[in-house]
Amino acid sequence: MALGATQRLHDGVAAVETMTRFALAVLALASGVYTYLGARSILDGSPTAVFFAAVIYSASVSVGIYAFWSYMARFYPHVTTRAGRTAMLGVMAIGAAMILAMSSWLNAAALAGSAAVEQHLSETVEDYTADLDRAHQNALAAQSLLPDIQRASERFSQLAGVERQSGSLTGTTGSGSVVQLLSQMSAQMKSLATGINASREQVNDLFAQGQKRLETMRSLVSAPGTIEPRADQFSTEAVALTGVITSLAQTSIAPSIRRAADDLSVGFIAPVPDGGAADLVNRQNQVMDTVRTSVTAQSKALAKAADEILARPPVQERRFVPLSSAEAVLHYAQDFIPAWAGAISIDLLPGVMVFILATVHGAIRRQEEDLPFAERITAAELLRALDVHRAVTASGMNIEQAVAKTEPGSEMPAPRTGVAAEAETEPGPGSEPTPEPNNITAIDLKSRSRDRTHEDR
């Protein structure tokens, strides 16, 4: 049973030898093709120079991979010592790392390079969308102050109207200094509200432009066709969108509101009371002091609100960085694990075949060690052992001389016949009997030789 199993393993190894070479050649060729596609995407220069450079590099990679795994398949299964196996495994690890460095990442770039670049563009669109929204919110933040400013303007205008018609503030009707002051403050508030409304229109226009740019960028990400021209146009749109976002940041009216709030209190100028009587003058002064206090409070409220708006973090200018397919695959490697697995498997799959051959040869050696020598000897070894045995029996020479005489190219001693042979074989009177030849047969020699061979293994 053991002899049959060993023979079947020998036959299997011989049968798959051609297939192993064919598989190594196909895998090396496939790796070279994908390496060519990946290398072409990162090389710069004229089309002819890029073509020949990529072809030479990919051919070198294919030859290197085929030669490396051929050496490993030829030698590793037959190294049996622990030190030798450790050294071969170290060499295999170094070779595998070099293959990954020179080929696998380019294979991944060829397999998933376009998808990785599209993902880079998609994430860039998301970043620009967030920047545009934040810039839009910062620009519109001042719009939240518009209702308060409008209410203050209406309040001053209503007080001026009431004072003009009924004199409820000073007790005297007419358009005096108090009415003039209230109308002035109402006009200032109304002017500030008008500026905010005008800013809103500009902000909306810029935001609409930014939305159009983003739409174009999204369409470029999902459009069919090669990625290179789409990436170039995407870069152009990104630069234009950056300008829109910067304009939005500069359009914010919050700084203007902050300055207007300071002007309300610092630049407050009350008109001279125009009352004809001293009592009316005093009442006008009191009303104008009240108006000053109200204006000061309004100024502080606006200044505080404007400071909160200005305290928001500004939108940092974003610079679009285009990536090649190889760079994108490395940058987004965790998102393309299947592509990386396929690229690495093409290069390292021969290692599995090497370990299979090593396992089979190890099984053959273990099974042969358990077989008796008679089942391990070949027909040629048996004939040579018989020749050695005849030589020893016929001439009485020692074992070493007999083995040397039966080596290929040597002549066997002719057996002696007749009287000479009888004279040599029959002992004379008084002589000691001829000792029998050494009882060590050539088969035993071969057994010892085979044992030494197994020890060497």
Taking only the tens place, the pLDDT of each residue in 410-428 is 444 444 444 333 444 444 4
Global pTM exceeds 0.75: no
Task: Tell me if 445 is assigned to some domain.
Answer: yes
Tell me: pLDDT of 374 over 80. no
Q: Assess whether 152 and 64 both reside in one domain.
A: no
Q: Which two tokens stand for residue 226?
A: 């090669």
Q: Assess whether 145 and 130 both reside in one domain.
A: yes
First-to-final CA distance of the chain: 24
Express each pLDDT in 47-58 by its tens digit: 899 899 999 999
Burial 9-26 (b: 16+ CB within 10 A, else e): beeebeebeeebeeebee
Q: Assess whether 97 and 124 both reside in one domain.
A: no
Is residue 163 a contact partner of residue 280, using CB atoms and an 8 Å limit? no
Task: Tell me if 179 is assigned to some domain.
Answer: yes
Task: Tell me if 329 is assigned to some domain.
Answer: no
Task: Tell me if 69 is assigned to some domain.
Answer: yes
Q: Assess whether 133 and 249 both reside in one domain.
A: yes
Tell me: pLDDT of 370 over 70. no
Q: What number is the average pLDDT over the span 20-36? A: 92
Highest mean pLDDT among 260-274, 354-368, 432-446 belongs to: 354-368
Hey, is 178 helix, strand or coil?
helix
Task: Tell me if 196 is assigned to some domain.
Answer: yes
Q: Assess whether 342 and 402 both reside in one domain.
A: no
Q: Give CA–CA dist 216/238, Å, rounded.
A: 10
Q: Give CA–CA dist 452/457, Å, rounded.
A: 9
If one compares 98 and 428, the residue with the highest pLDDT of the two is 98
The pLDDT of residue 158 is 77
Q: Assess whether 63 and 9 both reside in one domain.
A: yes
Q: Residue 441 — very low, low, confident or very high, per pLDDT cuts 50/70/90? A: very low
Q: Residue 14 — very low, low, confident or very high, per pLDDT cuts 50/70/90? A: confident
Q: What number is the average pLDDT over the span 294-322? A: 80
Express each pLDDT in 153-170 by its tens digit: 787 787 777 767 766 666
Residue 90: phi, psi to the nearest 5? -60, -45
Q: What number is the average pLDDT over the span 189-218? A: 86
Q: Assess whether 296 and 420 both reside in one domain.
A: no
Q: Assess whether 277 and 352 both reside in one domain.
A: no
Q: Residue 204 — very low, low, confident or very high, per pLDDT cuts 50/70/90? A: confident
Q: Residue 88 — very low, low, confident or very high, per pLDDT cuts 50/70/90? A: very high
Task: Tell me if 328 is assigned to some domain.
Answer: no
Task: Tell me if 16 is assigned to some domain.
Answer: yes
Is residue 325 a contact partner of residue 41, using CB atoms and an 8 Å limit? yes
In the chain, % of residues over pLDDT 90:
22
Domain count of the fold of the chain: 3
Q: Assess whether 26 and 122 both reside in one domain.
A: no
Which residues span the domain enclosing 354? Answer: 2-112+334-370
Q: Give CA–CA dist 38/81, Å, rounded.
A: 41
Q: Residue 176 — very low, low, confident or very high, per pLDDT cuts 50/70/90? A: low
Q: Assess whether 133 and 278 both reside in one domain.
A: yes
**Residue in the block written with tokens 């003058």:** 281
Mean pLDDT across the chain, nearest whole number? 77
Q: Assess whether 142 and 99 both reside in one domain.
A: no
Q: Assess whether 416 and 398 both reside in one domain.
A: yes
Q: What number is the average pLDDT over the span 394-398? A: 63
Q: Is the four-CA dihedral 300, 301, 307, 308 of positive or negative sign?
A: positive
Least-confidence region, from 131-140, 232-241, 363-372: 363-372
**Boundary of a domain, candidates 370, 398, 427:** 370
Question: What amino acid is encoded at 221 in this protein?
Answer: V
